Structure 1
């Protein structure tokens, strides 16, 4: 019987190889030859799926976005607005080795997107989804009386996104520890949701 090839799995395998090449050698080292070697495939097999470096990079960025989205969704076990926002923010920060790897690769794609419009378009397309999610959780919290009614959910969603993005590079270079970043997330969410009263000490 002829061998059945799962083409989607093969594309994901190649995309993972692209990520590893970027992390190990930088974006400029990505080529059909380098990726084929990293993936343990022939150049011809890689070229069956991608005719150029730009096609590979576009697929690899899509795969990175999907990988992060699936991890965030899997971690979102607390269904409260506060819990969901906390997970959404923390899972985007490079607080463990897997997420540090994703952050390094993501920063390389961000730099490349300045001169590669297809990558920039992909990054732009994902932003409204994230912002709508943040705003939706804030509105749900307002409806439940957990966030003040006069808070502008759209503007605060944009601020949360900018806040999280602003933490990524300082964490990657070691300016903030994971504990520092988690404390800053709690501080930011506490600003919106109100800080709980500290328990009173005994006399």
Structure 2
């Protein structure tokens, strides 16, 4: 019998190869041939999984988004009794990719963001990712506002948008060396603390 191929598993292996190459060379240095070599599959296997390079990049971007989302959920599940403010702090920290072990992922993420400026398909994928994160952040902002005693009135959607933009900005500033990860973490902590007028929500 012919061997059964796990196409989804192979697509994920290829996506990982795309990310490693993008980290080393930027997206402009990612070719189908090099991706096949890095993934240790044939060119034909890559082309059976993805019709075009853009389709491959869109899948790789979604793959990174899923990975970040899974880490956010893992942080929240680990401490189910934590406050909404703490949950928001943990989630924002994961999205900002400030830890050393996520530095390569941060470089690849920003490479995709830059490429999305000229790729409608990548832009649509990013917009969907950000919309999901914004909804989750807005929900946590709303819950945290209800728990705070002296917080000023907040628009949860506006604050969620602001927090996402801050997280992305901090990612970039750490990558170029303008801020240390600790300084970025402190800036994020201060912003969140200012939302509820307390000592912060990132315990």
Contiguous gaps of at least 5 residues in structure 2: none
Q: Does 1:36 align with 2:36?
A: yes
Distance 2:140 2:150 in 1: 10
Question: In 1, distance between residues paired with 2:5 and 2:196?
Answer: 50
What is residue 92 of structure 1 aligned with on the other side? 95
Q: SS of the counterpart of 2:96?
A: coil
Q: Quote the residue 2:198 is aligned against.
A: 195
Deviation at 1:5, TM superposition (A): 2.2
TM-score, reference length from structure 2: 0.89
**Structure 1 length as normaliser, TM-score?**
0.89
- The one of the two structures with greater contact order (alpha-carbon pairs below 8 A, sep at least 6) is 2
Distance 1:64 1:147 in 2: 38
> Counterparts of 2:103 and 2:29 in 1: how far apart (Å)?
20
**Aligned mates of 2:27, 2:144 — CA distance in 1:** 41
Tell me if structure 2 keeps the 8 A contact 1:92–1:99: no
Task: Give, in whole Å, the separation in 2 of the partners of 1:149 and 1:8.
Answer: 47
Equivalent residue, structure 2, for 1:114? 117
Q: CA RMSD in A?
A: 1.6
Matches within 5 A, 1:8-47: 8-47=8-47
Task: Give the secondary-structure state (helix, strand or coil) at the position aligned to 1:162.
Answer: helix
Aligned residue for 2:193, secondary structure, equals helix
Is 1:65 the equivalent of 2:65? yes
Cα distance, 1:49 vs structure 2: 0.7
What residue in structure 1 maps to residue 159 of structure 2?
A: 156
- Structure 1 residue runs of 4+, over 4 Å off? none
Call closer, same or farther: CA 1:60–1:4 in 2, change over 3 Å: same
2 CA distance for matches of 1:147 and 1:40? 58
Equivalent in the alignment of 1:200? none
Unaligned runs of 5+ in 1: 197-203
Equivalent pairs counted in the alignment come to 196
